A and B are shown apart, each in its own frame.
Chain A
Amino acid sequence: MIVAIALGTIPHEELERAAEILLRFSPRIEFDPHPDPHPRKLGHEGALFLDPSGLERLHPNRRTFLRAIRDALRAEGFEPSIVWGHSKARSFAIARHQRGIHILKSEREERESAAEVPLARLGLPETIVRDLALLGLHRLGDLETVDRGELRTRFSQPEEKAALDRLLESFPEPLFKAPERFRVIAELEWPDHQLDRLLFCIKGALHSLLSDLTGRSLAAASLTLELQEGDGKNKRLELEPAYATRDSKLLLELIRLRLNDLKLEAPIEIIEIEAQGVRLEGAQLSLFDVGSPSLGKAVDLDAANRGIARLRAAFGNGAAARAILQESYHPSRSFRYEPMKEIRAPKPKEARDMLVRRLKKRPQALAEDARGYPRMSPPIVSLAGPYRVESEGIARDYFYGEREDGAILALFRERGRAAWFLEGSLD
């Protein structure tokens, strides 16, 4: 993670003054890593980078953190553009193009945004920008459409060559152009809500959509289906295959899984399908037989990812998840679920065998008995605790209670209240 700050063209002393201000927020501040003797050249004007790692607990909200930086710089007469990104070159390019504060959640989003930055905004010599425009290259993403080696041969002036080299070296990895969208509309001869007949209609429309994609050498990264019912209501379905594909059978299977659980209230009149077209990425064929280690084969991650795509189609995008641990003293807040699109090979740790707890979705309220224990049947015979936790605005006393039948229960009591709650059990 990196925070890139673009301050426009300013003298070096001013840049140092801005860096002094940023030191209030993080001890890790960097000037441009490649000082440039010509401050008007590519990406070397008013560039500051702040490393935000380790500051999450101090500034849990990224936007508030960036606003505080902006306000501090504005108070000293600077007009900054700030981008929270993943790579210096891409974040800084975006900061130079877009005013204000931008938070790029993923590297993919950063690459897509960087692809849209006009070459003219990067401080290149005007002659280079003009010559690149003659070749049809206007934005950073357009550089992906040409061979970089051939492009270098078109410029002979040493100054131009150096500027172009610096540009290409700043962006060694491919940028993603914003995906193109393709749409097809199928009108049913007679309104229908029978699944097989709807699928037959979708199949025809899908073939036409895929041939459009084939014509542009693209593949479908996602599909959006809009089903228009006779009463004017629309149903919108979003599907994502495991990887961009032009395989109609695979896409139809995902559509079938999603439609299976759909309750249609009225017959469908019009089906609109929109595909997001991206470049088809080839994968090397595996030389070894893949499957499952339980059959003595290498694990087949592609097959697993196709299975995950089917799960997402059948039960919704949030159904396939991975657990993310987060810091909290309260058990129910110590994890969250994040949708999973791809699985990777496991790397389990050596650990002791541990008993695991089961946690109720909602704690169950329990009355208190005469001994001051929570009332249960069979009764609780011993309590371990209290383990006092007062954080995140919640004050609780946690206990482990052992029941007469040997069950071990996770219990808590809100501080200052007599009520007990059953949170889970050891299982």
Chain B
Amino acid sequence: MERTRELPRGRLIELVSELGPSSGSSLAAFTLREAQQEGGLAAWIESEEGALFPPDLARSGIDLDSLLIVRTPTSGGVIAIAKAAEILLRTGAFSALTLDFASLKRPRGEAFLARLAALAREHHAHVLILRSAYDEFSLGTSIALRLDARRSRIARGRFRVELHSLKNKLGEPPPRLVRSFSAPEGIR
């Protein structure tokens, strides 16, 4: 069942989050752990009202001491998160970033996305953007992939996560991932 092809680096990837059986945050955590295992630095950027639950990241193997968590002012919205990501990408030291836009309004304009896309390409970094599934369309033309990591139960407390591509501008087939994940204790 464990079939993976890595999410592409150097491109902006949107992950559907916060709807039904979607598992965007789990896939983002999986990617950050992979980056850390290669010796790279990883960061999770969200607004102060963000929904990150660090104990689950630690359980999935992420080294929390070395995970930078950036919490931007809620009033700054998506733009503040993008600005923080830009600062980190420009250092050239971070190899995986997760930007949590899930509970935030879509801003006007796409200039910030174009800058992020250029920096991700230059530094060959994973840039994953979590979006609420209620936003029907991707953020803009700079988004190379929009994916839904869908979860289905295979046993008590075990789930299969499979990637479904909702938008693909890679010019090649979308990445494939079918992998089994454990649920936190107490979930049947």
B-binding residues in A (CB < 8 A) = 291-295, 298-301, 303-304, 306-308, 310-311, 314-316, 318-325, 331, 334-335, 337, 340, 343-361, 382, 384-385, 387, 398, 400, 403, 405-408, 424-427
Contact = CB atoms under 8 A, between A and B. Distances in A.
A427 B72 contact: no
A354 B64 contact: no
Contacts of B159: 355
B39 A356 contact: no
Given A344-B65, A426-B187, 5 more contacts: A307-B90, A335-B55, A348-B33, A400-B187, A400-B188
Contacts of B182: 352-355
B70 A321 contact: yes
B26 A355 contact: yes
A355 B23 contact: yes
B84 A314 contact: yes
7 closest residue pairs by CB, A with B: A351-B61, A406-B21, A323-B54, A307-B91, A358-B51, A346-B66, A356-B56
A355 B183 contact: yes
Given A294-B124, A346-B40, A357-B53, A300 B181 contact: no
Interface of B: 9, 17-26, 29-30, 33, 35-42, 48-73, 76, 80, 83-84, 87-88, 90-95, 102, 123-126, 151-152, 159, 161, 179-184, 186-188
B92 A303 contact: yes
Given A356-B53, A407-B21, A293 B38 contact: yes
Nearest to A362: B49
A331 B64 CA distance: 17
Contacts of A304: 41, 68, 88, 91, 93-94
A300 B56 CA distance: 28
A294 B88 contact: no
A351 B73 contact: no
B80 A315 contact: yes
28 contacts: A291-B92, A291-B123, A300-B93, A301-B93, A306-B91, A307-B94, A308-B68, A310-B87, A314-B84, A315-B73, A323-B57, A323-B58, A323-B69, A346-B36, A346-B63, A348-B36, A348-B37, A352-B60, A352-B181, A353-B26, A354-B184, A355-B23, A356-B29, A400-B187, A406-B20, A426-B151, A427-B17, A427-B26
A356 B188 CA distance: 15
Contacts of B21: 405-407
Most buried by B among A304, A348, A398: A348
A387 B187 CA distance: 11
Given A292-B40, A385-B186, A353 B179 contact: yes
A335 to B, nearest CB: 5
Contact of B9 (A294, A324, A406): A294
A363 to B, nearest CB: 12
Contacts of B179: 353
Interface secondary structure of B, over-half rule: mixed
A427 B56 CA distance: 11
Contacts of B62: 348
A355 B33 contact: no
Given A293-B38, A300-B93, A358-B52, A319 B124 contact: no
A302 B179 CA distance: 36
A408 to B, nearest CB: 6
Nearest to B84: A311
B70 A353 contact: no
Contacts of B151: 355, 406, 426
Contact of A292 (B37, B123, B161): B123
Given A321-B71, A358-B52, A427-B25, A307 B88 contact: yes
B40 A299 contact: yes
Given A356-B29, A359-B51, A311 B18 contact: no
A356 B126 CA distance: 19
B18 A346 contact: no
A297 to B, nearest CB: 9
B66 A291 contact: no
A283 to B, nearest CB: 16
A352 B2 CA distance: 13
Nearest to B152: A406
A337 B54 CA distance: 10
A314 B84 CA distance: 8
A361 B124 contact: no
Contact of B18 (A347, A350, A358, A359): A358
Contact of A337 (B30, B69, B184): B69
Contact of B51 (A320, A340, A424): A424
